[in-house]
Structures are given as structure tokens and as C-alpha cells.
Amino acid sequence: MILDKFNLKGKTAFISGATHGLGMAMAKALGEAGATIVINGHSSQEKIDDALKEYQKAGIHAHGYRFNVTDEKEVESYIQRIEKEMGAIDILVNNAGIIKRIPIVEMPLSEWEEVIRTDLTSPFIVSKAVVSGMIRRKKGKIIHVCSMMSELGRDTVAAYAAAKGGLKMLTRSMATEWAKHNIQVNGIGPGYFATSQTAPLRVAGNSFHEFILNRTPAGRWGEPDELGGAVVFLASDASDFVNGQILYVDGGILATIGKPMEE
């Protein structure tokens, strides 16, 4: 039965970050599809504990670990610990990420490097730590959270767009090297979603808010739970012959040059 292919019962999914926003929405969807959910945080144990309570409220018994996904040594030791305590990681979602909205000429190198380290290097580090087990088991799913900034630039988000553009090509490169081990590596590219990360942009009357409504064929911002179907598909047996693809969930924004602003 085709629906059985979407069933994640018996699978363990590690979604980096996922203490809030799109990561939490995707983790909840994976949990509802039957996966055991493991998340991580770095800033504070309190944030992780609050997130686990949030998952509990949604009927999902998630597990949380506090470590820094940009630190290779910490990642190696925590992935080993997670796999010892929670079982093999069948599904990896590289979700943890930051954005800094600073014009290039004003962006200090340190800020640039922090964005690249978190949004591009950490998926490299975490994927490498997880893939050895997947290669041994000859099965695995790796999903990188890309962005429509993997395809398009915009003022003030150069570091983020460079990282997400690189993440698209890292997705394709990992797919190329690991498909022979029955490991599918793909990306999800969210368009503009209503989250805390975009809250500063979603102020009624704000020209950017009006711009996005006009630029998005669906005429609205996405709701985080609208990413659920895409992530369950890419995490499930239903996508076993899908490799190196970025699945954009963007209300059509990347399909169009847009239309003239209403006179």
C-alpha cells in the first residue's frame, strides 16, 4: 500500500536545532508519522526542556541533547551517545541555522564566518558523523534545510544566501557520493514562512511584508506545519529513488518573476 511507504514507525530521526520554528514543525510531522524524535540545542538546557514540553503537548515524546553542531569533536561524541542511547539515526535533518541581516559592506568577517559555520559547515560535520552508520546499514535519509536563498539573493542576507547556495551543492555532492549506499540526500527549500526568524519582516504595512504577499503566487506567508508533508516524504521509503533534489515549499515564489505592484 502506497501510504505504508510514508510510515516512519521504528525509525529514529535527529533534527538539529528544532527547539522552535520550522525545525520543530518538521520534527512534529516526523513524530506524527511514527519516528522517534531527537533534537539538540546549544544556547541553554532550559530552551531544550521548554521545547520537549512543547513536543509532549503535541503528543510526541522527543529527546533533547545540548551540544554545538559547529564543533566537530562535540558532534562526533554526541552522535555516538545518541546512537547508543536512542538507536541508529535513520533520518538526519540538518535544520540548525542562523541568519544575520547586514549589508555586505557593514558585515564584519566574524559575522560572515559565524553564518557560514552554522548554516553550511555544520551540515557537513553532522552528516559526516551520521553517514558512517548509514553506510554500514546500507540505508539512510539526509535532509538539508536549504532556502529559497539557495536560488536567489536579496539585500542584507549575503552570508545566509551564500551558505544556503552552498548547502544546495553540498546536498547534490553528498547525493552523488552516497546514493550507491542506498542513502538518499535531499533538501527542503522553505519560501517565506511565519516564524520568529521572519517576524521582523512581517509587520503589517511594512513594505517587505507587502512585497512578499505580492511576490508569492499563493499571496500569503507559509505556516510552519505546511512543511510537514515534504519532510515526511523525503524521510520515508516513498522517496527511495529521489536523490540530490531540493523540494521547494514556497507558495510558488520561485516559479514566477512576480507581477507589477498593484497601482
Residues forming the site for ligand GCO (CB under 6 A):
99, 101, 147-149, 154, 157, 160, 190-192, 197-198
Q: How many CA atoms lie within 13 A of 117 on its CB side?
A: 11
- What is the amino acid identity at position 81? R
Closest to ligand GCO by CB, 121 or 197? 197
Q: Which of 55, 160, 192, 248 is catalytic?
A: 160
Q: How far is the CB of 74 from ligand GCO (least distance, A)?
A: 26
Measured from the Cβ of residue 221, the count of other Cβ atoms closer than 10 Å reads 19
Decide if 248 is catalytic: no
Q: Which grid cell is 245?
A: 533534489
Strand partners, 40: 65
Q: How far is the CB of 149 from ligand GCO (least distance, A)?
A: 5
How far lies 136's CA from each of 5, 12, 82, 89, 187, in Å? 22, 16, 17, 12, 23
Closest to ligand GCO by CB, 131 or 231? 231
Q: How far is the CB of 192 from ligand GCO (least distance, A)?
A: 6
Residues with Cβ < 8 Å from 105, sequence gap 6 or more? none
Closest to ligand GCO by CB, 78 or 160? 160
How far lies 172's CA from each of 4, 114, 153, in Å? 27, 23, 20
Closest to ligand GCO by CB, 92 or 163? 163
Residue number closest to ligand GCO, CB atom: 147
Q: How far is the CB of 8 from ligand GCO (least distance, A)?
A: 25
List residues with catalytic annotation: 160
